[in-house]
C-alpha cells in the first residue's frame, strides 16, 4: 500500500501520472551494489526498462553500468553520466549509424547477435581506424519458464547465435582484426521467478559453451549473464526490494569450476525490471462506476496507452483504491477495472476485490516502474502521462 501521507500531496495533480518512490529506488540500487561487491559481479542496468533522466541519474550515481538496446539509449546513457567503459549495447538489429556511434564513443562492448553483425562491426571499426570491444550473444536454447513474448533464449527466438553456427563463429572471430573479442553474452528472458532452477540450468550450459570456445583457442575474459530476475506483481509490498541475493548466489555458485574455484572470467549481469519495477506506480482517477448486466466496471482515466503490459502480455498489476484509505471499514466489492481506450484488451483486472469505490477516487496501479512509461504511446490521441517523484519523507521532488 502506498504511504497514506503522500495522498494529500498528490490529490490535486492531474491524473494519470507515474509516481516514483526515489527512496525505494535508492535502497534497491544500494542492495545491488552491496551484492555485486560481495559476489564480484559487474552490473549494467538495462536502460530499456525505464529511461527517465532522474531514474538514470540515481542509478549512474551509484556506479552501475548500463545495458542499452539502441543507439539513442547509448547516447542518452552517456549523457546521464554512465561511463563509456561500463556501457554494453545489445540488440539483433543494430544499424550502421548506431554501431558507428557506439564504436566512436569507445563503449565497453557491442553485444553482437549474429555473424553478419560481427562482420559489419569489424568493417566499421576498420573504417574508423580503431578496434571495437565485442561480446557475442549466444542463444543457449533454454526455457526460462516465463511468458512466450518475454522468453529470448530458445532457438525459435530471434536472439543470439545458436549452436549450429558455433564453428563458423569461432573461425570468424579469429579473422576479424578490428575487434577486441571480450567474451560471451546470454540473456534468456524476463520476469523469471523460478530463479534457482532456470539460472542453474543456464550456468551449466554457459560452462559447456565457454569450454567449447576456449577449446577453439579463444580467450573468454568476461561472461555476461543478462537480466531477467522477476518481481512480485501480486504482492509488491511483501518484498519491495527483490531477492537479488538468491539470484547472485545461484549464478556465482553455478559457474564455479569443478574444483570449487571462482571462474577465470569476470561476471556481468544486466538487471532492468528488478531494479525499477516496484518504485513506480501509475496513479489514476476513477471516472465512472458502471453497472453492467452481471458485473460492475470501474473505469479509470489511465489506459493501455499509458501502461501496455496487461494488454500486451496479459500481465497482472495489483490495483488499489487510495481514496478508500480515508474511509476505513468500507465494504468490499468485486469489480472489473478497465481503462478508457477503445480496445477490449484495455483492462487492468477482472473480478478484483476492492473497497467500495466511487467516482473521483484515486487509484494506484502498482509495480509500474519497469516497461511502463517507456512503452507509453499516444493512441487515441491521448496525452502522455507525466512523472512525479517523491523522496523518503513523502516530499514531492520533481514533477513533469
Ligand X SMILES: *Cc1c(COP(=O)(O)O)cnc(C)c1O
140 vs 227 by CB, closer to ligand X: 227
Residue 74: partners with Cβ closer than 8 Å, 6 or more residues away: 68, 87, 89, 98, 101, 102, 105, 107
Q: Does 160 bind ligand X (CB under 6 A)?
A: no
| Segment contacting ligand X by CB under 6 A, of 225-233, 290-298, 299-307, 347-355 | 225-233
CA–CA distance, 161 with 181 (Å, rounded to integer): 15
218 vs 229 by CB, closer to ligand X: 229
CB 73 within 8 A of CB 45: no
Q: Does 227 bind ligand X (CB under 6 A)?
A: yes
Applying the rule CB under 6 A, the residues between 315 and 334 that interact with ligand X are none
CB 218 within 8 A of CB 192: no
Q: Does 49 bind ligand X (CB under 6 A)?
A: yes
CB 24 within 8 A of CB 278: yes
Grid cell 502506498 is found at 2
Mask of contacts with ligand X, 106-125, x by CB under 6 A?
Answer: --------------------
CA 171 to chain centre: 34
- Least distance in Å: CB of 394 to ligand X? 28
Q: Does 187 bind ligand X (CB under 6 A)?
A: yes
| Residue 258 φ/ψ, nearest 5 degrees | -55, -30
Q: Does 77 bind ligand X (CB under 6 A)?
A: no
| Segment contacting ligand X by CB under 6 A, of 6-14, 42-50, 70-78, 125-133 | 42-50
Q: Is 258 exposed, middle or buried (0-12, 13-18, 19+ CB in 10 A)?
A: exposed
Q: Does 46 bind ligand X (CB under 6 A)?
A: yes
49 vs 362 by CB, closer to ligand X: 49
Tell me the β-bridge partners of 296. 291
Report the run of H or E that residue 109 belongs to, with start and end. strand 109-112
CB 141 within 8 A of CB 155: yes
Question: Among residues 65, 133, 140, 226, which is the contact residue for ligand X, using CB under 6 A?
Answer: 226
| Segment contacting ligand X by CB under 6 A, of 41-49, 71-79, 299-307, 328-336 | 41-49
Q: Does 273 bind ligand X (CB under 6 A)?
A: yes
Q: Does 86 bind ligand X (CB under 6 A)?
A: no
Point out which residues bind ligand X (CB under 6 A).
46, 48-49, 67, 69, 90, 187, 190, 226-229, 270-274
Amino acid at each position: 500500500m502506498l504511504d497514506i501521507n503522500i495522498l494529500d500531496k498528490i490529490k490535486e495533480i492531474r491524473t494519470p501520472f507515474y509516481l516514483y518512490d526515489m527512496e525505494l529506488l535508492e535502497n534497491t540500487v544500494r542492495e545491488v551494489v552491496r551484492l555485486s561487491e560481495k559476489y564480484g559481479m559487474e552490473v549494467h542496468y538495462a536502460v530499456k526498462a525505464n529511461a527517465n533522466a532522474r531514474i538514470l541519474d540515481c542509478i549512474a550515481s551509484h556506479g552501475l553500468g548500463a545495458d542499452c538496446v539502441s543507439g539513442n539509449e547509448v547516447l542518452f546513457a552517456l549523457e546521464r553520466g554512465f561511463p563509456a567503459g561500463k556501457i554494453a549495447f545489445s540488440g539483433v538489429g543494430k544499424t550502421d549509424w548506431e554501431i558507428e556511434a557506439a564504436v566512436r564513443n569507445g563503449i565497453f562492448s557491442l553485444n553482437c547477435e549474429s555473424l553478419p553483425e560481427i562482420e559489419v562491426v569489424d568493417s566499421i571499426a576498420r573504417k574508423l581506424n580503431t578496434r571495437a570491444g565485442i561480446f557475442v550473444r549466444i542463444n543457449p536454447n533454454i526455457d526460462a519458464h516465463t511468458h512466450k513474448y518475454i522468453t529470448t533464449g530458445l532457438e525459435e527466438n530471434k536472439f543470439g547465435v545458436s549452436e549450429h553456427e558455433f564453428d563458423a563463429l569461432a573461425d570468424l572471430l579469429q579473422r576479424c582484426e578490428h575487434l577486441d573479442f571480450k567474451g560471451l553474452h546470454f540473456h534468456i528472458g524476463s520476469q523469471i521467478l523460478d530463479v534457482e532452477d532456470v539460472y542453474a540450468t543456464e550456468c551449466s550450459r554457459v560452462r559447456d559453451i565457454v569450454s567449447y570456445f576456449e577449446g577453439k583457442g579463444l580467450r573468454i575474459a568476461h561472461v555476461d549473464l543478462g537480466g531477467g530476475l522477476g518481481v512480485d506483481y501480486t504482492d509488491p509490498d511483501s518484498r519491495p526490494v527483490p531477492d537479488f541475493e538468491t539470484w547472485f548466489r545461484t549464478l556465482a555458485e553455478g559457474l564455479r569450476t569443478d574444483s570449487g574455484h571462482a571462474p577465470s572470467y569476470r561476471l556481468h549481469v544486466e538487471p532492468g525490471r528488478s531494479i525499477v519495477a516496484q518504485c513506480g506506480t501509475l496513479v489514476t482517477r476513477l471516472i465512472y462506476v458502471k453497472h453492467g448486466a452481471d458485473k460492475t466496471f470501474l473505469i479509470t482515466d489511465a489506459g493501455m496507452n499509458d501502461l501496455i503490459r496487461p494488454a500486451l502480455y496479459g500481465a497482472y498489476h495489483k490495483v488499489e483504491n487510495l481514496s478508500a484509505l480515508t474511509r476505513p471499514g468500507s465494504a468490499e466489492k468485486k469489480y472489473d477495472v478497465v481503462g478508457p481506450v477503445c480496445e477490449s484488451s484495455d483492462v487492468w483486472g477482472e473480478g478484483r476485490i476492492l473497497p467500495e469505490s466511487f467516482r473521483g477516487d484515486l487509484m494506484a496501479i502498482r509495480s509500474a516502474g519497469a516497461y511502463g512509461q517507456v512503452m507509453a504511446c499516444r493512441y487515441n490521441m491521448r496525452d502522455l502521462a507525466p512523472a512525479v517523484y517523491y523522496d523518503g519523507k513523502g516530499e514531492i521532488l520533481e514533477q513533469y
